[in-house]
Chains A and B, each alone.
Chain A
Amino acid sequence: MRSRVRTLLFGLAGAGAVVLLALALWPRPAVDIRIPRGGFAALHQRFGRVVAMPDTIVVAAGGRPRVRITNADTTTHQLGLFSAPPGQTVEYTLPTPGTYTGLCSVHPTSETLTFVVR
């Protein structure tokens, strides 16, 4: 009986470890932009920190950085080169270091949003 309980506990601990490992190693986007319904796009950073969209976003070039845009709004949003249709999450993978600039609906003053991968 005791050995079966031990097997169960080991099984549970092993599965938990695998889940934690998978969560830790699962690739996260370098940039996480979320657009709430009827709201403004904001940059979501680690540990739940949310900041307003800057004109330039600098991304560390490691592998192929990804930009994730989650658009919960009812209209398409244009964020520099990248767009997100309403109600969709889209990821863009930036292939090489460089500057990626495009017209932006979030920045009516500068009219552009730039991603710098370096």
Chain B
Amino acid sequence: MPFRRQRKLDSLVTRLQAQYGPRAIHRDPPPRAPAPIPHVSTTFPALDAALGIGGLPRGRISEISGRVTSGKLTLAAKILSAAQREPDALVAWLDLGRTCDPDYLYRCGVDLERLLVVRPEDSADALTILLHLVESNTLALLVFDSLSDLRQGDESRLAGALERLATIVTQTQTAVIFLSDPGIQFRTLAHLATVRLELRFERWIELGPDVRGYEGQVKIVKHKLGRAGAEVLIRIAFNGTVSGYGL
């Protein structure tokens, strides 16, 4: 803009602001780059890229669903290990099904010293403990294993807890992941989850007579902070430790 016109405009703006107040007319600040969304990497670069924000969001609810042997527990374990990359990060595994295998989590890279395993008596206790732990805002990640272990008739209790959780979790830096089975649908969770991933077993990776791992297809069913619908192939190898593709 020419200097004289710029000066006339500045003078007009000053007069208007003097007459009607500074908020009557003002300039927009220069556009800034969008702030990164706090997240926890899934440790699978292709999946992180497909999610758009670099992983699963912190301060939000996510859901990983898949049938038995689809790899959802392994994916959750790898995300736990990624959450522990921060020096002081504590993580928790809410083991409703009492199937938590620390040895397997260790082989997935989880530091057991910074892993709290919660074994509640029943689903009502589990949901109460979940709310309290998230409210304390001390955990980087909490995995709820799993919704399929909830008792019959606990849907309404879960719905109430989830609604409260959705309010609480946004005030924290905790990523909450629910593991579930696609055969059992929880409508409240489907509604409140920010990210929903669905895992499907694809094939075993074989080398001669040995099974060296497996491939799974991850579909981003829902993503409130990015693009949904993408499908990503992840590879999980067995070699004493459990490593993801690209690690």
Q: Do A and B bind each other?
A: no
Residues on B lying within 8 angstroms of A by beta carbon are: none
Residues on A lying within 8 angstroms of B by beta carbon are: none
